[in-house]
Amino acid sequence: MRRIALHTRLKPGHEREYDHVHATIPAELAAAIRAAGVHGWWIWRDGLDLFHVVEVEDYRRMRAELREHPANVAWQARMATLLDVMDDYPGADTGLPLVWELPAAADRATS
């Protein structure tokens, strides 16, 4: 299991709409994301900046599996109207580089 951090940015004026759209993710999309190996996905918003943390078995495999999935294609088209910069969902990125980590207490106990 890997934890991947991502950063995206909203177009100005789309904050409420983004929050509203994410209040309920389509069930088909959620099922596809889970089937692609995602165990959890969290998004925080600070103004226009969005910070994602994804717990996933294999991030590149997840991106490849979702690339042509109809629920994800529709979702990405919707996100393209809200986000400032969208890639073409190639699956080649690896997320943000980890700079520092405070290990969980359980991790320290076993080392």
Dihedral sign for Cα 53, 3, 87, 79, please. Answer: negative
Q: What are phi and psi of 28, to 5 degrees?
A: -65, -35
pLDDT for the residue numbered 86: 56
Q: What's the pLDDT score for residue 87?
A: 53
Q: What CATH number does the domain containing 44 carry?
A: 3.30.70.100
Determine what percent of the chain is predicted with pLDDT higher than 90: 78
What values do phi and psi take at 67, rounded to 5?
Answer: -50, -45
Residue 110 lies in a domain: no
> pLDDT at position 105, please?
83
The answer as to whether 51 is a domain residue is yes
Considering its fold, how many domains does the chain have in total? 1
- Mean of per-residue pLDDT scores for the chain: 90
Q: Is residue 28 part of a domain?
A: yes
Q: Which domain holds residue 14?
A: 2-86
**CA–CA gap between residue 5 and residue 55 (Å, rounded):** 9
Residue 20 resides in a domain:
yes
Q: What pLDDT is attached to residue 111?
A: 57
Q: Look at residue 109 and tell me if it is in a domain.
A: no
In this predicted model, what pLDDT tens digit does every residue of 56-87 receive, in sequence order?
Answer: 999 999 999 999 999 999 999 999 999 996 55
> Does 103 fall in a domain?
no
Q: Does 19 score more than 60 pLDDT?
A: yes
**pLDDT for the residue 92:** 64
